[in-house]
Structure 1
Amino acid sequence: MLMSRNGRGTWHAGTVIAVIADIMAAIIGLWILMYLLDANRANDLVQFVQDAARWLAGWSHDLFTFDEEWARVVCGYGLAAIVYLFVGHLAANRIRRY
């Protein structure tokens, strides 16, 4: 494992950024799964996950206009999850290099 010039501090900062991106994508992915499995939206956990995913994917959740609602959910929220993973890990890797 290569260490950066600044030591462990930048390595840990990069790891924290990657973990946060993973958590954000996991929340969105969990909502997609709950939606596809028709989870009970009156349940507090389901409502919490839906609200968190909607907040995280606020910029993309209604970006697409497919006829089928499941396709809009999968594509809109899925896009946000992919962007968070890509950007989060890209930023983490750049921080770890310096």
Structure 2
Amino acid sequence: MSYHPQQGHNPYPPQGPGHHPGHGPPQGDYHGQDNRRRDEAGDTVANVIHIVTGAVVTVFVLHILFVVFDANQGNEFVSFVYGLAQVLVLGLGDVFTPDDALLGVILNYGLAALVYLVVGRVITKAIRR
């Protein structure tokens, strides 16, 4: 014994305006597609911002570690990270001026990393809304 549904019977309800049973998907209702594209574009931009802020924070953390552990300044990678961190710190490199230079680097570049994290998070949340 087998089950054969009735001819012309569609178990699913009509799909919005312009839908006529048996005539394929609704025509002319593109608002859903536009919203989906906007959502996807917003997610893409938010993901890029998230990745960029993560990379910048990584540069700051590496810089702090290199300073704390007295990394070889002659090494190309260490030198590159140092130069990039100085460019990306955007004026936050001298907020704190303690007597201990090591503490100053930790505080200033740590603050810069925190600012990038918070601002990046706020922007990505605003975009995804």
> TM-score, normalising length from structure 2?
0.69
The CA deviation at 1:67 is 0.8
The match for 2:125 among 90, 93, 98 is 93
Where does residue 15 of structure 1 map in the other structure? Answer: 47
Shift of 1:72: 0.3
Please name the residue that 1:78 is paired with. 110
Name the CA distance, whole Å, in 1 between partners of 2:36 and 2:109: 35
Identity in percent = 35
Task: Give the number of the structure with larger relative contact order, counting CA–CA contacts within 8 Å between residues 6 or more apart.
Answer: 1
Deviation track 1:49-91 (CA, whole Å, cap 9, x = no partner) reads 0000011114111221101111100011111110001101110
Tell me which amino acid in the other structure corresponds to 1:94. Answer: A
Q: Distance in 1 between matches of 2:127 and 2:36?
A: 9
Structure 2: gaps spanning 5 or more residues: 1-34
- Structure 1 position 6, deviation (Å): 2.3
5+ residue gaps, structure 1: none
1:41 corresponds, among 57, 73, 79, to 73
User: Whose Rg is larger?
Assistant: 2
TM-score for the superposition, normalised by structure 1: 0.90
Task: Give the total of aligned pairs.
Answer: 95
